[in-house]
Amino acid sequence: MSQARTPRGVLGVVASAAGGLDSLRTGLVEPALARGWRVAVTLTPTAGRWLRASGEWSRLESLTGLPVRDAPRLPTDPRPHPPVTCYVAAPATANTVAKLALGIADNQALTQLTEALGTPGLPVIVFPHINAAHARHPSWPTHLTHLHRAGAHVIQGPTVWPLHEPAADPPSRELPWAAILRAVDEATN
């Protein structure tokens, strides 16, 4: 595994099982490394299955020099990742955003995010990869309110991520990685 240099600190990248997950390396991890971040990747269990199947898991480990996590460590094991300077949850499913807003930490990805949310000096950036149906759920506005009140930077809105009906996304739609990286810069500069 290659070891990235770390002048900017550690970017905790947390991703869940949403469309565009396969572009995590090229869209976020490689640009973050190029900007001087050390990158520690944690996935939800479903996202872990997806990236193992696509071969991205091992590419991410080689690139970052750190294990990719999708499970809690044993109590006797050392922490696999260094302390994080800034978290980015992208892409974040409607499921993961809802659980984060409620403080549910039933997997390693959510354990890290729920502990980080509201911690002074630890920015949390969230990109909800949702569709119009997710946004119509009666609890969705409340989830966003909780995240905003806790100080999270939520990447959303019609200019950055216009909502389409389920299965109606334009086929070539890319995740707004540039806006996500900009939010990291703004939150940490």
Ligand X SMILES: Cc1cc2nc3c(=O)[nH]c(=O)nc-3n(C[C@H](O)[C@H](O)[C@H](O)COP(=O)(O)O)c2cc1C
Strand partners, 86: 11
Instruction: Tell me if 84 contacts ligand X by CB under 6 A.
Output: no
Taking the complex as a whole, the smallest distance from the CB of residue 35 to ligand X amounts, in Å, to 26
| Residue with the two structure tokens 């389920």 | 166
Degrees to nearest 5, angle at CA 94 with 102 and 155: 95
| Per-residue binding letters, 32-61, with ligand X (x by CB under 6 A) | ------------x-xx--------------
Instruction: Tell me if 143 contacts ligand X by CB under 6 A.
Output: no
Taking the complex as a whole, the smallest distance from the CB of residue 26 to ligand X amounts, in Å, to 18
Of 47, 25, 39, 71, which Cα lies nearest the Cα of 129?
47
Taking the complex as a whole, the smallest distance from the CB of residue 92 to ligand X amounts, in Å, to 8
CB 156 within 8 A of CB 2: no
Instruction: Tell me if 164 contacts ligand X by CB under 6 A.
Output: no
Q: How many binding residues for ligand X (CB under 6 A)?
A: 14
CB 101 within 8 A of CB 147: yes
* Interactions with ligand X, residue window 87-126 (CB under 6 A): 93-96
